[in-house]
C-alpha cells in the first residue's frame, strides 16, 4: 500500500509540473506580443517604432505621402521619418529614411506595383520574384554618389537630400529595401551611409575580396528587422549598428 501511495504521489507531482510548464510556455508566447522596450533612441514612422542603436542619431522630421494603388483608383497612406548621424566634426555620415503605413487599418487584398530589377554594379536580392501581391526587394549600391546614380535611380530621395542639404559629404553607399504584403503591410528603407562605416580598409588582395562582406551582412540585418516590424503589434524596428565605428 505504501509503494502504491508513493507511485500516486509521484504521478500527481509530474502532472502538476507539466501544467506549470504549459502555463510558462503560454506566458512566453504571450510575451512575444507585448510591447518591446525602447532602445537608446526612438522615433515613430507611421505605425512603426524606429529604434536606433545609439543616442547620437538626430530626428530630421516626418512627412506624409500617398502611394497610388493599382488597378483602379485609390491611394495608400504612408509616413516617412528621416534620421541622421553625424561624425566627430558634425559632418553627416548617415541618413536614414523609413517609410511605413500611416495607420494599422487593414487593406486586403492589396496589389503592389514596382519591380526589383537587376542592375550592373548593384547587389540585388528579390525574394518574391516580382510577385504582384508581395514585395521583398533589397538593392545595395556601393558608390551611390558617382555619376549621378542616386539622381537617376532614386530621384525622390535625391531631391529630398538636396532640399535639406542632407547628403553625406564623403563617398557613400545606398541601401534600398522594400517589403509589402497582400494584407497591406508596407515598409521601405533608404539608407545613405558613409563607406567608412561599412567597408574596412584593406592592405592585400585577400582583405580586398572580403571587404564587401560587412556591408552585405548589415544590409541583410536591416532587411530582416524591417520585415519583422510589419508583424509586430507595436511595429518595433530595431536598426542594427554599423559594422565599423564612427570615423574620427
Taking residues 153-182, report their average pLDDT: 93
pTM for the predicted model, two decimal places: 0.81
Same domain as 212, residue 172? yes
Q: Is the dihedral of CA 122, 128, 132, 133 positive or negative?
A: negative
248 within domain boundaries: no
Residue 22 CB partners (closer than 8 Å, separation 6+):
none
- Whether 92 is in a domain gets the answer yes
Say if residue 15 is in the same domain as residue 61. no
**Which grid cell sits at 82?**
528621416
Q: What pLDDT score was predicted for residue 35?
A: 57
Q: How many CB atoms lie within 10 A of CB 142?
A: 18
Query: Cβ of 179: how many Cβ atoms within 10 Å?
Result: 23
**Model confidence over 204-216: pLDDT tens digits?**
888 888 888 999 9
**Model confidence over 65-114: pLDDT tens digits?**
887 766 555 677 899 999 999 998 899 999 999 999 987 776 667 766 66
- The grid coordinates of residue 87 equal 561624425
Predicted pLDDT at 183: 81
Based on the fold, state whether residues 19 and 141 are members of the same structural domain.
Answer: no
The percentage of the chain sitting over the pLDDT mark of 90, rounded to a whole number, equals 52
Q: Are residues 85 and 196 both part of a single domain?
A: yes
23 and 82 belong to one structural domain: no
Q: What is the mean pLDDT of residues 10-25?
A: 39
Instruction: Say yes or no to pLDDT of 170 above 70.
Output: yes
Sequence-separated (6 or more) residues with CB below 8 Å from residue 146: 171
In a domain, 247, yes or no: no
Same domain? For 109 and 227 the reply is yes
Which pLDDT score, from 0 to 100, does residue 50 have?
A: 96
**Which residue did the predictor score with more confidence, 22 or 126?**
126
* Whether residue 1 sits in one domain with residue 56: no
What is the DSSP code (8-state) at residue 88?
T
Q: For residue 160, what is the enclosing H or E element?
A: helix 155-164
Report the number of distinct structural domains present in the chain: 2
Q: What is the pLDDT of residue 66?
A: 81
152 shares its domain with 217: yes
Residue 244 lies in a domain: no
**243 lies in some domain:** no
Return the closest-CA partner of residue 37 out of 20, 55, 46, 49.
Answer: 49
**DSSP structure class, residue 42:** E
| pLDDT at 104 (0 to 100) | 73
> Residues 191, 195, 197, 200: is their CA dihedral positive or negative?
positive
Residue 160 lies in a domain: yes
pLDDT digits (tens, 9 = 90+) for 117-139: 889 999 999 988 766 678 899 99
Looking at the structure, do residues 70 and 153 belong to the same domain, yes or no?
yes
Residues 6+ apart with CB under 8 A from 61: 81, 82
> Is 135 part of a structural domain of the chain?
yes
CB neighbourhood size of 104 (10 A): 11
Average pLDDT of every residue of the chain: 82
Contact 237, 51 (CB under 8 A): yes
- What the block records as the C-alpha cell of 123 is 547587389
Residues 6 or more apart whose Cβ sits within 8 Å of residue 242: 94, 193, 197, 198, 218
Domain that holds residue 17: 1-33
The helix or strand, by DSSP H or E, that contains position 195, with its residue range, turns out to be none
Q: Smallest Cα–Cα separation from 127: which of 17, 227, 56, 32?
A: 227
Residues 7 and 101 in one domain: no
Same domain? For 76 and 152 the reply is yes
- Residue 2: pLDDT band (50, 70, 90) is very low
- The pLDDT value recorded for residue 240 is 96
The reply to whether 14 and 113 lie within a common domain is: no
- CB-based contacts of 115: which residues, under 8 Å, 6+ apart? 130
Please check whether residue 222 lies inside any domain of the structure. Answer: yes
What confidence score (pLDDT) does residue 115 get? 73
Amino acid at each position: 500500500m505504501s509503494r502504491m501511495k508513493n507511485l500516486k504521489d509521484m504521478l500527481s507531482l509530474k502532472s502538476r509540473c507539466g501544467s506549470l510548464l504549459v502555463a510558462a510556455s503560454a506566458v512566453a508566447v504571450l510575451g512575444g506580443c507585448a510591447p518591446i522596450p525602447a532602445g537608446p533612441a526612438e522615433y515613430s514612422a507611421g505605425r512603426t517604432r524606429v529604434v536606433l542603436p545609439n543616442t547620437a542619431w538626430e530626428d530630421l522630421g516626418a512627412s506624409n505621402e500617398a502611394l497610388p494603388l493599382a488597378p483602379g483608383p485609390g491611394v495608400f497612406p504612408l509616413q516617412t521619418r528621416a534620421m541622421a548621424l553625424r561624425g566627430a566634426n558634425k559632418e553627416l555620415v548617415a541618413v536614414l529614411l523609413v517609410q511605413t503605413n500611416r495607420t494599422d487599418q487593414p487593406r486586403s487584398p492589396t496589389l503592389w506595383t514596382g519591380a526589383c530589377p537587376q542592375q550592373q554594379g548593384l547587389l540585388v536580392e528579390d525574394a518574391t520574384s516580382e510577385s504582384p501581391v508581395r514585395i521583398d526587394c533589397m538593392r545595395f549600391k556601393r558608390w551611390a554618389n558617382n555619376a549621378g546614380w542616386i539622381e537617376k535611380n532614386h530621384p525622390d530621395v535625391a531631391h529630398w537630400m538636396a532640399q535639406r542639404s542632407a547628403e553625406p559629404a564623403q563617398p557613400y553607399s545606398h541601401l534600398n529595401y522594400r517589403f509589402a504584403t497582400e494584407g497591406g503591410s508596407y515598409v521601405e528603407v533608404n539608407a545613405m551611409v558613409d563607406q567608412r562605416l561599412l567597408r574596412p580598409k584593406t592592405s592585400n588582395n585577400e582583405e580586398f575580396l572580403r571587404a564587401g562582406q560587412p556591408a552585405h551582412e548589415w544590409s541583410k540585418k536591416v532587411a530582416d528587422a524591417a520585415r519583422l516590424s510589419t508583424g509586430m503589434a507595436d511595429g518595433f524596428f530595431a536598426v542594427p549598428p554599423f559594422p565599423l565605428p564612427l570615423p574620427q
